[in-house]
């Protein structure tokens, strides 16, 4: 028999058990996702070359156009639904969120598809018929829309403390996508294969979400309401600004590196960035479920719990810096395994990338803690300040390589977002 805690600590005990369930199920999903992404890097470099891989990374940068859909379905939705019973009484909130997420994601998907179709560099790299090109873009657009809907559904299940189910279906999609990667060496039209893979990866979680929304959350009974739209938009817009302050700088640096430093340096930056984002996305196993826990801890006046939890997560985020002590031989061997012989990654590339990864993890931890603490205004101010500081630094960006790009991004985040957020969280009463 498990202990049955009473009083104010009971809810936090429940959250502790939920963390175990979410993390254990999410490990399956994220492990398969890691295999997928890590396997795709050497395969793509081998078959596309450094120039082609750099172009591919610019193509993937278009996923940033999906971000506006998170206005109505991001962490703010989890915060709004946390502590309530998700039944027909909340169907209006769920219906409003998913409907508006759908329309915004369609606009982003159309924009991304038009950009790739009209861009001479992208169109010339496809090396396929116009019909196949259009079909590939259609698959890419569908995957963007479905992924946006799935992300909103995960936020809903996180509020209901049931996100472990979503992660299991997401893991199944990753397994299917990883299986498709086996076709890389045998399928000459790699761009079409990539777009199909993006779609297949989303299908299991998407169909699971449709079933749950109709049976468990009674989405058919809900209606779109303007007041709910305003509430979602206000909180979601602040988080969206934070996302753009994090995503836009690193994607813009790809275009700067492409024009200033060349395709080889862009390929190094893109490969290391892919690994950083893979680790950050894996950390979302804990980011999301922390919001309900922080919200309840704040309501129970347990600021000490919040401060202790944040300090632990910051220490864990700093662990990537241990790569600085790796011998050059290990770094060289690791880069050969990950990237083949197409990219020459040295110690300073790895150290700067690890510094960036540490700052990225701390930044997202701080953002989710601020959301759980309802510090939206503080999140807005620090995000805008960080983005403005990046703009000033990027204005002086001439001929920098991948190493300086990582150092500049991480330093801007550390000074203008991470340190202010840390002081704010540690002063929680």
For the chain, what are the domain ranges? 9-426
Q: In sequence order, which residues have a C-beta less than 8 Å from that of residue 87 and are 6 or more positions away?
A: 217, 218
In angstroms, the CA 318 to CA 310 distance is: 13
Identify the CA nearest to 385 among candidates 411, 418, 416, 357.
Answer: 416
Residue 40 has pLDDT above 90, yes or no: no
Segment 346-369, tens digit of pLDDT: 888 888 889 999 999 999 999 989
**Total-model pTM:** 0.72
Q: pLDDT tens across 79-138, in order?
A: 777 766 666 667 788 888 888 888 888 887 887 777 766 665 555 555 556 666 677 777
Q: Can you tell me the distance from the alpha carbon of 271 to that of 265, in angstroms, rounded to the nearest whole number?
A: 10
Q: How much is the average pLDDT of 392-396?
A: 79
Q: What is the mean pLDDT of residues 180-190?
A: 59
Helix (H) or strand (E) holding 194: helix 190-215
> What is the structure's pLDDT at 8?
42
Residue 332 or residue 362, greater confidence: 362
Tally of CB atoms within 10 A around 310: 22
In terms of average pLDDT, the best of 38-52, 110-124, 374-388 is 374-388
Burial of 412 (C-beta count, 10 Å sphere; 0-12/13-18/19+) = buried
| Mean pLDDT to the nearest integer, 176-192 | 63
Please say if the pLDDT value at position 3 is more than 50: no
User: For helices 347-372 and 328-339, what crossing angle results, to 10°?
Assistant: 80
Looking at residue 411, its pLDDT comes to: 93
pLDDT at 193 over 90: no
User: Residues 306-316: pLDDT tens digits?
Assistant: 898 899 888 88
Instruction: Give the phi and the psi of residue 84 in degrees, each rounded to 5.
Output: -115, 160
pLDDT, tens only, 13-37: 555 555 555 555 555 556 666 666 6
- Is the pLDDT confidence value at 163 over 80? no
Query: What distance in Å separates the CA atoms of residue 80 and residue 267, rounded to the nearest whole number?
Result: 40
Q: What confidence score (pLDDT) does residue 341 get?
A: 67
């Amino acid at each position: 028999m498990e202990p049955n805690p009473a009083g104010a600590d009971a809810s936090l005990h429940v959250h502790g058990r939920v963390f175990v369930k979410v993390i254990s199920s999410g490990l399956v999903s994220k492990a398969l996702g890691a295999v997928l992404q890590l396997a795709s890097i050497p395969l793509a470099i081998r078959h596309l070359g450094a120039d082609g891989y750099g172009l591919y990374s610019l193509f993937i940068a278009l996923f940033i156009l999906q971000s506006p859909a998170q206005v109505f379905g991001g962490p703010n939705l989890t915060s709004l639904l946390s502590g309530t019973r998700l039944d027909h009484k909340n169907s209006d909130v769920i219906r409003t969120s998913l409907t508006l997420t759908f329309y915004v994601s369609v606009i982003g998907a159309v924009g991304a598809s038009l950009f790739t179709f009209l861009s001479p560099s992208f169109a010339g790299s496809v090396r396929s018929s116009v019909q196949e090109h259009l079909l590939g873009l259609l698959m890419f657009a569908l995957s963007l829309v479905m992924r946006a809907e799935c992300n909103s559904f995960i936020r809903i299940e996180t509020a209901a403390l049931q996100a472990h189910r979503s992660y299991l279906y997401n893991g199944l999609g990753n397994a299917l996508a990883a299986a498709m990667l086996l076709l890389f060496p045998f399928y000459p039209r790699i761009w079409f294969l990539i777009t199909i893979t993006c779609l297949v990866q989303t299908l299991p979680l998407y169909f699971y979400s449709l079933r749950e929304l109709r049976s468990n959350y009674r989405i058919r009974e809900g209606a779109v309401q303007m007041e709910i739209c305003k509430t979602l938009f206000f909180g979601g817009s602040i988080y969206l600004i934070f996302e753009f302050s994090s995503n836009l700088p690193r994607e813009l640096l790809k275009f700067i590196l492409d024009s200033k430093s060349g395709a080889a340096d862009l390929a190094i930056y893109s490969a290391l960035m892919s690994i950083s984002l893979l680790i950050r996305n894996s950390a979302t196993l804990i980011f999301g479920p922390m919001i309900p826990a922080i919200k309840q801890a704040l309501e129970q006046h347990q600021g000490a719990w919040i401060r202790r939890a944040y300090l632990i997560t910051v220490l864990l985020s700093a662990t990537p810096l241990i790569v600085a002590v790796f011998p050059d031989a290990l770094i060289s061997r690791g880069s050969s395994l990950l990237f083949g012989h197409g990219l020459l990654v040295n110690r300073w590339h790895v150290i700067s990338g690890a510094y960036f990864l540490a700052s990225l993890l701390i930044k997202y931890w701080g953002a989710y803690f601020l959301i759980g603490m309802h510090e939206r205004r503080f999140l807005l101010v620090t995000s805008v300040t960080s983005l403005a500081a990046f703009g000033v630094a990027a204005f002086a960006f001439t001929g920098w390589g991948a190493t300086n790009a990582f150092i500049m991004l991480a330093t801007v985040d550390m000074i203008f977002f991470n340190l202010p957020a840390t002081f704010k969280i540690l002063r929680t009463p």
